[in-house]
């Protein structure tokens, strides 16, 4: 059974705790929501799933209901004892660590391929997703709940106005799509914004041959001045002639370029 709203609040009250804004904590208090996320994950009996920021274990319990083998990474040392109590006797390994600094090779050493399923803290969601895509190839699929605006950026493709640096870098590593929208009413405390569940499926190999470091430097420069034409925002990195040689209009703005266009620019010497 997953937590009901009453049970989750009682857990917090019994331990004298509250959600910590500094850690971006918003606990899911709706059993149907976490069950839906577990279903969307496609995880089944024995499948290795890593969960970041399990909090009080609402999503963890839903993942256990579908039979997943869960490794939960939680940095809040006040929540870890409660989580241990909630999942006692279940197929869960709890790692007390900051997901941005943990040794992922060690944490994920038991299996070659993992799904990440998580309600990510709002304040670290984007950099954490990008870091995991770049540095943790063992995670082959992600299903993460984030702010709706962040979800739209992660999944955007040109010429969507939501496209930006995260969109291009995610596209280099995998295919992203919004799997579900989530209202504020399912959280405690309630955020002021809607959320969404994003699915990212890692590519077996990147779809372009450009080096990631070079691609990222160009994308960050371009979107650092997104209202300017790329011949201006990329000045010092590429000349107008080089941009034209890549088959890109020097007067284009960054949001009009897809991954392939950025990839061609990154290959120009």
Whether residue 140 sits in one domain with residue 92? yes
Whether residue 227 sits in one domain with residue 184? no
| pLDDT of 8 above 90 | no
- Report helix angle 148-155 to 125-135, nearest 10: 30
Q: Which residue has better confidence, 269 or 73?
A: 73
Whether residue 141 sits in one domain with residue 97? yes
The string of pLDDT tens digits covering residues 34-89 is 999 999 999 999 999 999 999 899 999 999 999 999 999 999 998 999 999 999 99
3-state secondary structure 140-179: EEEEEEEEHHHHHHHHCCCCCCCCCHHHHHHHHHEEEEEE
- Domain final residue, candidates 152, 177, 202: 202
The string of pLDDT tens digits covering residues 199-247 is 999 999 999 999 999 999 999 999 999 899 999 999 999 999 999 999 9
Whether residue 172 sits in one domain with residue 86? yes
Residue 207 forms part of a structural domain: no
Whether residue 130 sits in one domain with residue 74? yes
Residue 152 forms part of a structural domain: yes
Whether residue 186 sits in one domain with residue 74? yes
Q: Which CATH number does the domain housing residue 166 bear?
A: 3.40.50.150
Prediction pTM value: 0.93
Whether residue 130 sits in one domain with residue 28? yes
Q: Which CATH number does the domain housing residue 257 bear?
A: 1.10.8.100
Whether residue 234 sits in one domain with residue 140? no
Whether residue 177 sits in one domain with residue 238? no
Residue 131 forms part of a structural domain: yes
d(CA 98, CA 100): 5
Whether residue 217 sits in one domain with residue 187? no
Q: Which domain holds residue 141?
A: 5-202
Specify the number of domains making up the chain: 2
Alpha helices by DSSP H, listed for 66-164, are: 80-86, 104-107, 125-135, 148-155
- Domain final residue, candidates 202, 225, 249: 202
- Domain final residue, candidates 148, 178, 202: 202
Whether residue 242 sits in one domain with residue 139? no
Output the pLDDT for position 1. 65
């Amino acid at each position: 059974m997953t937590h009901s709203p009453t049970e989750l609040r009682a857990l917090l009250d019994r331990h004298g705790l509250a959600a910590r804004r500094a850690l971006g904590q918003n606990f899911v208090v709706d059993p149907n929501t976490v069950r839906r996320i577990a279903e969307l994950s496609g995880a089944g009996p024995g499948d290795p799933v890593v969960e970041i920021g399990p909090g009080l274990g609402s999503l963890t319990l839903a993942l256990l209901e579908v039979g997943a083998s869960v490794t939960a990474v939680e940095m809040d040392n006040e929540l870890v004892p409660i989580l241990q109590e909630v999942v006692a006797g279940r197929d869960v390994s709890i790692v007390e660590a900051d997901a941005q600094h943990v040794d992922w090779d060690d944490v994920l050493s038991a299996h070659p391929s993992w799904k990440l399923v998580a309600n990510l803290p709002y304040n670290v969601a984007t950099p954490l997703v990008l870091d995991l895509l770049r540095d943790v190839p063992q995670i082959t699929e992600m299903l993460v709940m984030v702010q709706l605006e962040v979800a739209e950026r992660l999944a955007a493709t040109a010429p969507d106005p939501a496209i930006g640096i995260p969109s291009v870098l995610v596209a280099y590593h995998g295919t992203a799509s919004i799997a579900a929208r989530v209202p504020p009413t399912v959280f405690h405390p309630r955020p002021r914004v809607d959320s969404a569940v994003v699915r990212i499926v890692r590519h077996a190999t990147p779809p372009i041959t450009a080096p990631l470091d070079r691609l990222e430097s160009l994308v960050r420069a371009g979107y650092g001045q997104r209202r300017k034409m790329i011949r201006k925002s990329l000045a010092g990195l590429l000349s107008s002639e080089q941009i034209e040689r890549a088959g890109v209009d020097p007067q284009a703005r960054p949001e009009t370029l897809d991954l392939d266009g950025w990839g061609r620019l990154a290959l120009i010497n």
